[in-house]
Amino acid sequence: MRYDRMRPHQVQAAIAAGTPVVLPLGVMEHHGGHLPAGVDLLAVTEILDRLGDEIVTLPPFAYGAASHAVAGPEHGTTLHVDASALVPFFEALCASLIRAGFRNVHAVIHHQSENIAQGMPTDLAFRLAARNAIFRHLEAERGAGWWGRRDMADYYAQHGQGTDPFNWIRLHPLFPKNDVFPFDHAGEGETALMLALAPDTVAMERAGEGDPWWTETAPRATAARGEEGVQLALAHLRKVLGL
């Protein structure tokens, strides 16, 4: 279900049912001559579309901290927004979702998610914002010292079960840590994903056009290989979203 197409009674039903609400997080970043700027976002949105009415999908956020680590701005396909500008936006969004009653919110990201354990600017900005929003909501609702009161004595048990307030908003990489599907930048893995998910955006004849080492494996990509990656991501998302 797309949130932007839902009416109030449908949103209220989703909140009551605890349906996962998912924000696709992405960036606009140079992905060689053969792939579009939105690879990292398209990989998330197109795979989430396959979950259909199992989830509520929020309008995607496309303008993360891409960085100029891969390429500078000269290609026109990298739009970098500093993480410091993202935190207040994400915090306001998270606070709004909490006030609306959502308690099963997730963000899914592909960009730089090979470093998800340590975090990279876009996902760190979202996670900090979500924690800030939750802390502020709890203090406003329950008062200062809310965690230290006797009625929170089961907090650690709740935490172990994943039912404490800090699970209201979570972030996940699109893929689980694996040695099955190649994780790369505009190489075989991402090119295969686009061939499976958005083939109209791929121009294989331009692979390697003015690009360095990171596109060298792109010619090996096939739609069938990409579909294997899609299925791996879907199984992972169903698990982390509790579907």
pLDDT tens, residue by residue, 42-81: 999 999 999 999 999 999 999 999 999 999 999 999 999 9
pLDDT at residue number 181: 95
Consecutive 10-residue averages of pLDDT for the chain (243 residues): 98 97 98 96 98 97 96 94 98 98 98 93 98 95 86 80 86 94 95 98 86 89 97 98 96
pLDDT at residue number 117: 92
Looking at domain 3-181+234-240, which CATH architecture does it have?
3-Layer(aba) Sandwich (3.40)
pLDDT at residue number 159: 75
Domain map of the chain by residue range?
3-181+234-240
Using CA atoms, how far apart are residues 89 and 110, in angstroms rounded to an integer?
20
Quickly list DSSP for 190-210.
HHHHHHHH-GGG--GGGTTTT
